[in-house]
Amino acid sequence: MDPHARTQVFVYGSLLQGEENHHFLQSAHCLGEDRLLGLRLYHLGRYPMIWWGTGWVKGERYQISLQLLARLDELEDHPHVYHREWLQLHSGNHAWIYVGRPELVQGYHYLPEGDWRQRHRLDLDRTSVDTGG
């Protein structure tokens, strides 16, 4: 693997600046905030998951090494829990994104604002639950 090869990743949960796993991105270059359209953000307790649906997800785009991408694959338990997809963001840029599985979000609350950092402000009893229907 070329140690100088770079790619981009879009993060929306525990890897965001100020969140518990951001230290994994210590060597990464933040390219700024972006949004992902056509997916929903779900609150699974300690961490989020996204799945296809009407909505958008707010996050950050990073330039990272391929070695770091491999470490993130381990962190995200790719391909067993999350799978990684190369998707276009609202800005027109493309990035790797960790997408969940429909059976894992079923029964959990989705965050209509699409912002993981706002999860503490939400009354989870009043947000929508995905029933799989």
Q: Catalytic: which of 19, 76, 85, 103?
A: 76
Task: State whether residue 95 is helix, strand or coil.
Answer: strand
Query: Hey, how many other C-beta atoms are within 10 angstroms of the C-beta on 93?
Result: 14
Indicate if the pLDDT at residue 127 is higher than 80.
Answer: no
Q: What is the pTM of this model?
A: 0.88
Q: Is the bond leading into 48 cis (omega within 30 degrees of zero)?
A: no
Across 4-16, average pLDDT: 94
pLDDT score recorded for residue 5: 85
**Choice between 75 and 125, residue whose per-residue pLDDT is larger:** 75
Burial zone of 123 (CB within 10 Å; 0-12 exposed, 13-18 middle, 19+ buried): exposed
Torsion angle, alpha carbons of 35, 61, 114, 122, to 10: -150
Element (H, E) at 67: helix 66-75
- Which pLDDT score, from 0 to 100, does residue 45 have? 87
What's the rounded mean pLDDT across residues 111-125?
81
Residues 49-69 have pLDDT tens digits of: 999 999 999 999 999 999 999
Over the stretch 32-48, which tens digit does the pLDDT of each residue have?
Answer: 999 999 999 999 988 99
Q: What is the CATH number of domain 6-121?
A: 3.10.490.10
Query: Could you give the CA distance from residue 132 to residue 58 in angstroms, rounded to a whole number?
Result: 23
Question: Which band of pLDDT confidence, cut at 50, 70 and 90, is reported for residue 120?
Answer: confident
pLDDT at 46: 87
113 counts as catalytic: no
